[in-house]
Amino acid sequence: MERLGCKKIKDGLLANLKERTQEFINKGNKAPSLAVVLVGDDGASQSYVATKCKMASLLGFVHFDYRFDEDLKEEELLSLIDKLNLDDDVDGILVQLPLPKHIDADKIINRIAKEKDVDGFSPYNLGRLMLGQECFEPCTPKGIMEIFKYYDIPLSGKNVTVIGRSNIVGKPISVMCMQKGVDATVTVCNTKTSDLKAHTLASDIIIVAAGRPGILDSSVVKDGAVVIDVGVNRVADPSSEKGYKVVGDVDYDSFLTTECKVTPVPGGVGLMTVVMLMENTLMAAMRRRG
């Protein structure tokens, strides 16, 4: 098996981003800035947000942190978004998902100004993505495309199966793979797919974003295929200090004796997502003020 680790890709992209950020600042611009909004105390979300803030600092970006209790009212969050939209010192707005159930996430995302939607989740940006027009691409799919580029994995004419149809990963990555110029043949599977194995066995590339540990193992993948594991699942692990460990959606060990190429978790797609958010934030700053 070939392990498609992403640390080197991340480090290379970060070095490049740092340089471009410095150039932007040297031209007399204020540093790019990102407003990060977290509602509630979900452990995984807290950890994602901490990573995003840390990377923003590392690049010399300004970040504004907004943390709220679980009981924040939808109206209050909408008012904050309105304020951030109008604030000239804010280039990008990131509202960490999921939001508490009483808050309509679609309504919140829709309220973010399109030129500050660095997550690329708004109908405007996703619509443009669908049409093959320039936009903020959602960070995880954008990161997956960088993995294909770095490891020289061709997509044209290949059979790609995506497991999962979320708005954040499954739908956008399937559109990006089928786009003219990329030219993959894409199948998108979901929980009701009647014969998942038939699709995975016929695939050159499988992108797994189902949120279910172990949903894919090597017995249903043809040898030599590429497997991209987007899963981030916390499972109990009494032997670890935290009491849990993070695993992907793929049974990684089952691939060890194959000729497949597989991204690890941790150390894979997750590293890319955060870098792409920073890339989008620099793009937002340049477009607004460059």
Residues that bind ligand GUN (CB under 6 A): 94-97, 119, 139-140, 168, 273
Query: Nearest distance from residue 249's CB to ligand GUN, in Å?
Result: 14
Residue with smaller CB distance to ligand GUN, 145 or 225: 145
Alpha carbon 14 to its chain's center: 16
User: 10, 91, 96, 261: which one is catalytic?
Assistant: 96
Q: Is 119 a catalytic residue?
A: yes
Long-range contacts of 9-12 (CB under 8 A, 24+ apart): 9/146, 9/147, 9/150, 9/271, 9/272, 10/271, 10/272, 10/275
Cα dihedral 94, 124, 16, 66, rounded to 10, equals -10
Query: Nearest distance from residue 49's CB to ligand GUN, in Å?
Result: 9
Q: Is 41 a catalytic residue?
A: no
Q: Is 179 a catalytic residue?
A: no
Residue with smaller CB distance to ligand GUN, 204 or 279: 279
Residue with smaller CB distance to ligand GUN, 77 or 168: 168
Q: Which residues, in sequence order, are bridge partners of residue 208? A: 163, 229
User: 117, 119, 204, 229: which one is catalytic?
Assistant: 119
Residue with smaller CB distance to ligand GUN, 65 or 217: 65
Q: Are 190 and 209 in contact (CB under 8 A)?
A: no
Query: Nearest distance from residue 119's CB to ligand GUN, in Å?
Result: 5
Query: Nearest distance from residue 91's CB to ligand GUN, in Å?
Result: 16
User: Torsions phi, psi of 130, nearest 5?
Assistant: -60, -40
Look at residue 289 and give its three-state secondary structure.
helix
Catalytic residues: 52, 96, 119
